[in-house]
Structure 1
Amino acid sequence: MLELRNLSKEYPGGRRVLNGLSYTLGAGEYVAVMGESGVGKSTLLNLIAGLDAPDSGDILIDGVNVATLNDDAATRFRREKLGFIFQAFHILPHLSLEKNVALPLLLNGLPMGRATELLDAVGLHGRAQDFPRQLSGGELQRVAIARALVHRPRLILADEPTGNLDPDTAHEVLQLLRNEIKSNGASAILVTHSHAAAATADRILILSKQGLHPAEDKAG
């Protein structure tokens, strides 16, 4: 489903965060990626999503090398195939919650009804016509999760999706995330500092300067 081949990324000033990283994620696999701050976890997700470009290497999703797509093609591919849960939410303030969640459906020409269903699933029943300014940070995170899942993407990328949630809500949202991944046969990569969040994945990987490698055990 996803294949990373010799992926490298260096930032201005010579700081290299990824150096020849290779990894294959199978269809339907759900992995958590942990590691020290600054090691390149969010950068890795941005590269996979085509939001940033590697210095070298290939990123293949369903056989398509996203590293070689131009901006328009990358946008179309991302819109159809990917669901991305950002740390910073990226909720559009002038749209209702329902319209924010429905945006991937609208862009892909899909029926809009699932937007309300997903809002209900993340604990925002009856809030479809509210606006982002009326929500707390934790509620905005739930909207972002609903939006990432609504069009049943092939690959879900989640960057600290429970960072703004209380433990009970985090548990509910992680269960929803896992259920959606498994019921739709999607693949997913969860970047997190939370061992509780990582434990919901099938496997935990550690990102370091040596690349991606399995954690010794699920307890971390």
Structure 2
Amino acid sequence: MLELRDIVKAYGSRTVLSSLSYRFEPGKFVAIMGESGVGKSTLLNLIAGLDTPDAGEVLVDGVPISSLGDDEATRLRRSRMGFVFQAFHVLPHLTLQQNVALPLLLNGLDARAAGAMLEKVGLGGRGADFPRQLSGGELQRVAIARALVHKPALVLADEPTGNLDPETAGIILDLLRAEVRANGASAIMVTHSHAAAAKADQTLILTRAGLGPAPVVR
């Protein structure tokens, strides 16, 4: 479903990703770790089509994202992908119900499914509340509900537990993993946390040399 072919990305004179190739197996929850500045978040942005590589291709279902026009790329992200960001990006002027319903409305789906998804993330009955009334952990649950409500094939999560305490982080990751599996989706999570990575099916390490399996600890 997702393949990276010889990806190169540089910012000025600094090359972040160099000839990076990898094929992700469908239906897996994958954690990507690596040192700060190695290009983890950049890689997620390239996969999502929010940024473009200087060379190489990102293929989704065999189709290079770079071959799509702006409207086609937007439709791909809107219908096939879900995003969970460290900073939540929950819209403050919308209720929780309205925030979660956004992907449904954009895809022409029944917006009533937002209520059921809020129930799944433990926020049932709070659809009329506004983000300012929630804790950090609750905001992250809203972000996960919004990312998953339209049943995307691919979920991308950038440090989804970076601002959370360990107990809340564990709850959030268990929820994300359960929902991804229930929907038969694939997920890629960038994280610096070994505890978070342990929740994934597979952990990959991003280095200047490329992307590969984490070493086995004996």
| Structure-2 residue corresponding to 1:49 | 48
Match of 2:80 in 1: 81
Q: 2:140, 2:172 within 8 Å by CA — same for their partners in 1?
A: no
2 CA distance for matches of 1:173 and 1:121? Answer: 12
Q: How many residues align?
A: 218
Aligned partners of 2:29 and 2:200 also within 8 Å: yes
Q: Specify the SS of the correspondent of 2:124.
A: coil
Pairing of 1:171-182 with structure 2 (within 5 A)? 171-182=170-181
The answer to whether the 8 Å contact 1:8/1:21 transfers is yes
The answer as to whether partners of 1:141 and 1:164 remain within 8 angstroms in 2 is no
TM-score (norm 1): 0.94
Asked if the contact 1:81–1:155 (Cα under 8 Å) also holds between the matched residues in 2, the reply is yes
- Partner AA of 2:9 in structure 1: K
Answer yes or no: is the 8 Å Cα contact 1:118–1:146 preserved in 2: yes
TM-aligned CA deviation for residue 170 of structure 1: 1.6
Query: Which range moves more in the overlay, 65-74 or 89-98?
Result: 65-74
What SS does structure 2 have at the residue aligned with 1:129? Answer: coil
- Cα offset for 1:65? 1.1
**CA distances 1:121-169 after superposition (whole Å, capped 9, x unpaired):** 2232322111122223332222111110111100110001112222222
Shift of 1:70: 2.5
Describe the SS at the equivalent of 2:150: coil
Bigger mean CA offset, 196-205 vs 127-136: 127-136
Q: Which runs of 4+ in 1 moved over 3 A?
A: none
Q: Give the whole-Å Cα distance in 1 for the aligned partners of 2:159 and 2:61.
A: 25
For residue 10 of structure 2, what is the aligned residue in structure 1?
10
Structure 1 residue 98 displacement after superposition: 0.7
* 8 Å contact from structure 1 (residues 145, 161) kept in 2: no
Distance apart, 1:187 and its partner CA: 0.9
Counterpart residue identity of residue 176, structure 1? L
CA distance in 1, matches of 2:15, 2:188: 22
State the superposition RMSD in angstroms.
1.5
One-letter amino acid of the structure 2 residue matched with residue 61 of structure 1 = V
**SS of match in other structure, 2:32:** strand
Given that residues 6 and 19 in structure 2 are in contact (C-alpha distance below 8 angstroms), is that contact kept between their aligned partners in structure 1?
yes
CA distance 1:165–1:119, shift in 2 (3 Å) = farther
C-alpha displacement of 1:48: 0.4
